[in-house]
Amino acid sequence: MPTLTFGDPMRVSAAQLPGIDNSDDKVFTTEDAVIMLDGASAFVPVPVAASTYADRLGRHLRDALNAAPDGDLRTILADTIERTTRDLGLAPGKSPSSAVTIVRELGDQFELLVLGDNLIVLPDEVLTDDRMDRLDLVPRRTYRARLAAGTGYDDEHKALLRELQSQQAERRNQPGGYWIAETDPTAADHAIVTTRPTESAPWVVLATDGAYNTMDYLGLNDWPGLRGADPNELRTMLHQCETWEAHADPDAQELPRAKRHDDKSVAVLLPEGRTSGNASRRAGDAN
């Protein structure tokens, strides 16, 4: 799998399972920012694959951040959603979508943007956007209860996922619903954006929910311990999660989840000059 080397000021190690070319997750880096996307799996037809959408959006975000390293994050995201929509000829409500996370080191602080259910883990907090989960839709409650009861991934489960996505699409990028990167650039106005001083964040972990949920359940959430992890060590941890899913909980009875294996991405970011142990400049699988 490709490994990207890039320069100061940040040190980033990242890993993905499967690799970026076969995943709906995408990780991109600039010299001072990390971008993580999680294209939503489509259980109803969409005109292009979630992987294609997330890849195009991520590349546009990377290019925009390179061109304007201190540009407003919401404005950059809005512009790139609009550009991706135009590039791919997408229509509202009938297109793939993606969670977006950006962590940018700017001076003596981190700027953090979250739109969708990716997670940013800091020493004293976890940031995410749970507005879609807070909708508490009946098909979601039903499929999770059925999995916990041992029904497995049967035809009824698939039907519930299709109904869930149809109900979510009706509430996508709507007041009282939830906001996500799709075709409406104004969704960026609703992204969670905040800052943290770098002196209070000696490390930052970014993760898609497919990685975080299983890591957390298995007790692999020693987040400070990841600050010295290199890409191979992170990849080994993701393999451990997938092995558990495949052999210990293949029908998601213990940890109910929409799919046996969701794509998994994790990145560990250290601010300038704060390398530790084997911390690397390299972002495995990142582009």
What's the confidence (pLDDT) of residue 44? 66
Domain containing 41 equals 3-284
pLDDT at 94: 82
Question: Across the chain, what does the average pLDDT equal?
Answer: 90
**What's the confidence (pLDDT) of residue 286?**
55
User: Model confidence at 93, in pLDDT bands (50, 70, 90)?
Assistant: confident
Contact by Cβ (8 Å): 10, 270: yes
Cis check for the bond before 185: say yes or no (omega within 30 of 0): no
pLDDT surpassing 70 at residue 5? no
Distances (CA, A) of 28 to 48, 77, 108: 21, 14, 22
Q: Is the pLDDT of residue 124 over 60?
A: yes
User: Which of 181, 208, 23, 240 lies closest to 118, judged by CA?
Assistant: 208
CB contact burial 100-130 (16+ within 10 A = b; e otherwise): bbbbbbeeebbbbbbbbbbbbbbeeeebbbe
On the question of pLDDT at 64 being above 90, the answer is: yes
Residues of the chain with pLDDT > 90: what percent?
82
Of the candidate ranges 61-65, 86-90, 240-244, 274-278, the one whose mean pLDDT is the lowest: 274-278
Residue the block writes with tokens 């998601």 = 252
Say yes or no to pLDDT of 90 above 70.
Answer: yes
Q: Who wins on pLDDT, 9 or 53?
A: 53
pTM surpassing 0.85? yes
pLDDT, position 41: 76
Using CA atoms, how far apart are residues 10 and 37, in angstroms rounded to an integer? 19
Q: What is the mean pLDDT of residues 183-192?
A: 97
Number of domains into which the chain is organized: 1
User: For residue 135, what are its two tokens?
Assistant: 């909708």
**pLDDT tens-place string over residues 241-278:** 999 999 999 999 999 999 999 999 999 999 865 544 43
**What's the confidence (pLDDT) of residue 211?**
97
Q: Which of 10-14, 120-124, 140-144 has the lowest mean pLDDT?
A: 10-14
Model confidence at 15, pLDDT cuts 50, 70, 90, reads very high
CATH assignment at residue 235: 3.60.40.10
